[in-house]
Chains A and B, each alone.
Chain A
Amino acid sequence: MKFEELKGLIEEKVRDLGAEVSGKEPNVIEVKVPREKVVEAAMRLRDMGFDHVKAVTAVDYPNERFEVVYVSSSYSNLDLAYFLVNLRTDLPYDDPRMPSLLEVWPSVLYQEHEEHDLMGIVFEGHPRMGERLLLPENYEGIPPLRKEFKVKTEGINA
């Protein structure tokens, strides 16, 4: 399958959700949807054959927004496996919650949990919200992956 062709196909599928579809040659297709529509968009992508998620990346733009990126691709259809479809959604900075995609892609179980743990994003409907994954159980404070969590660095001088 050609890149442009697939991009067109996806665009057609998710246009009515208010999605912006763009692409990065040769194989990355970006689908940006509002957070209310993210489950629906994910379902349509899954039904197209994008059957698993490789990575869930949450990015923190301080005082502006959070961006959550689901990097999905296909195992069952090896023609699609070459392509990566990034399903993106923006979350307001003061209310970082979004519906969990666990129902659509069970493969996000640990990935969403991790982003919850380290970035403080709440995935509604995920059964393990509020539990710690990588951090110690008694950790309190700023989620460490947020930009306001500062890591001390040393200079080059002793």
Chain B
Amino acid sequence: MSLEERELEVLIGPQHPASGHMRLVAKIDGDVVVELRPNIGYVHRSVEKLAEVKKYLQIIPLVERPSLADTTANNLTYVMAVEKLLGIEPPPRAQYLRTLLAEINRIHSHFYGMGIHGVMIGSSTAYMWCFGDREPLIELAQELTGARLTYSYIVPGGVRRDLPQGFEDKVEKVMRYLENRMPDYFDLYFNNPVTRARLEGVGVLSREDAIRLGVAGPNLRASGVPYDVRKVEPYAAYPELDFEVVTEEAGDAFARVMVRVREIQESIKIIRQVLKKIPDGPILNEKYMKMIPPNLRKQVEETGRIKFPGVFANLRVPAGEAIARVEGGRGEVIFHIVSDGKMSPYRMRMVTPSFRNVILFEHLTRGVRVADIPAIYGSLDYFPPEADR
């Protein structure tokens, strides 16, 4: 029998319980994967083209949609790029609020990823726990922004809403709850010998390969590269906050999960600092604040909810180019906007962490077993719509 005949081509997805919206084309020899090619594009929605016909403010919801679990990162990156072109800075309070939402979002994005990973290796409890414990965080975000996931909270020049009454207490309760729950997560799932057996030493990504392949986010840090945009090019309120870049050395699936777990703990720290240090003041840039009609400005001060100035409907952005990057839950988000001074970007390039991590499917799965495919897939926190955009 020749080698070709030994190989079986298995199409995993897009209609498969654990493929997500993509197809993995696996060539397997017995139980060993010879080659695996991700076939992406199943949920491509052409964000970059649509952005060329939408106005600047209308693009905010558009860029959020591809990565539903991690909307703040895309929202923030996009707005930062636009602000660079506009040459405006949000006021300090808005910077803190952006940070607050970004960190709440990071925690629930990590829970999302870990939950999906859990069910991919068969632990329905990890899945349900993660998705259940995401709920208090979503509830917090909903109270702050008015929506569960698609916040559209960050707008050029600031944020849309101020902290609601009594929000600090609620945040503190949720943070304590998460801290209370963590030991149980470790006992039941992370330290479960079966989990360990499935994840340790599986899908090892060496430091050199991680750098070479341009991997992003927790997957990069799990291979020992302490790269975090929040430290490297601090934005929002991060320069004033004290936190650590979480890294692991092993580079395997378990290390990637552990980076997420420890980042949740760091995020809890950051959120507490944000609420302690948050300065008083306006939440929208003065320039735009002045454009709001006086009677509405009073209302804004009373309710803490921004009314947009009329100029937002047809925001013109000076010609030029801007690149913004943000460390989202899944990794580094890049927006590269080329403006020609009109109401829509001339070209908008959106590079999401999942798109940069898709290369790992090919790289990490050579020679692993069939059962390792979901274990590796899940550990990457890969989200097909985010990669397809």
Contact = CB atoms under 8 A, between A and B. Distances in A.
A87 B185 CA distance: 46
A65 interface: no
Interface of B: 40-41, 44, 46, 48-50, 52-53, 210-214, 220, 225-227, 232-233, 321, 323, 325, 332, 334, 336, 338, 346-347, 349, 351, 355-356, 358-359, 388
Interface of A: 24, 27-28, 51-55, 57, 59-60, 69, 71, 75-76, 78, 81-82, 84, 86, 105-111, 114, 118, 132-136, 144-145, 149, 151, 153
Given A54-B332, A75-B211, A151-B49, A107 B359 contact: yes
7 contacts: A52-B211, A54-B356, A55-B336, A81-B232, A106-B214, A110-B358, A134-B40
A132 B213 contact: no
A155 to B, nearest CB: 12
B334 A135 contact: no
Contact of A28 (B41, B323, B332, B358): B323
A117 to B, nearest CB: 8
Which secondary structure dominates where chain B touches chain A? mixed
Contacts of A133: 40-41
B214 A82 contact: no
B214 A107 contact: yes
B205 to A, nearest CB: 13
Contacts of A24: 321
A81 B356 CA distance: 17
Contact of B226 (A78, A86, A109): A78
A153 B54 CA distance: 9
Given A55-B351, A78-B232, A144-B49, A109 B359 contact: yes
Contacts of A107: 212-214, 356, 359
Nearest to B335: A55
A71 B334 contact: yes
Interface centre among B44, B214, B332, B349, by most A CB within 10 Å?
Answer: B214
Nearest to B325: A54
Contact of B225 (A60, A76, A108, A145): A76
Contacts of A151: 49-50, 52-53
Given A78-B226, A135-B41, A149-B49, A105 B334 contact: no
A107 B46 CA distance: 22
B80 to A, nearest CB: 13
Nearest to B54: A153
A36 to B, nearest CB: 24
Nearest to B48: A145
Contacts of A111: 351, 355
B227 A134 contact: no
Nearest to A76: B211
Q: Which of B50, B53, B336, B388 has the most CB of A within 10 A?
A: B336
B41 to A, nearest CB: 4
B213 A106 contact: yes
Contacts of B321: 24
Given A145-B48, A145-B49, A110 B211 contact: no
B41 A132 contact: yes
The 9 A-B pairs of least Cβ separation, nearest first, read A107-B214, A52-B214, A134-B41, A57-B349, A134-B44, A55-B351, A75-B211, A81-B232, A59-B347
Contact of A75 (B225, B233, B325, B359): B225
Contacts of A52: 211-214
Nearest to B231: A78
B333 to A, nearest CB: 10
Nearest to A75: B211
Contacts of B325: 54, 84
Given A107-B213, A110-B358, 19 more contacts: A27-B233, A53-B214, A54-B214, A54-B334, A54-B356, A57-B347, A59-B347, A78-B232, A82-B232, A82-B233, A84-B325, A110-B356, A111-B351, A133-B41, A136-B41, A145-B48, A145-B49, A151-B49, A151-B53
Nearest to A28: B323
Nearest to A26: B233
A52 B140 CA distance: 37
A39 B346 CA distance: 27
A136 B232 CA distance: 38
Nearest to B313: A156
A135 B358 contact: no
Contacts of B355: 110-111, 114
A75 B336 contact: no
Contacts of B214: 52-54, 75, 105-108
Contacts of B347: 57, 59-60
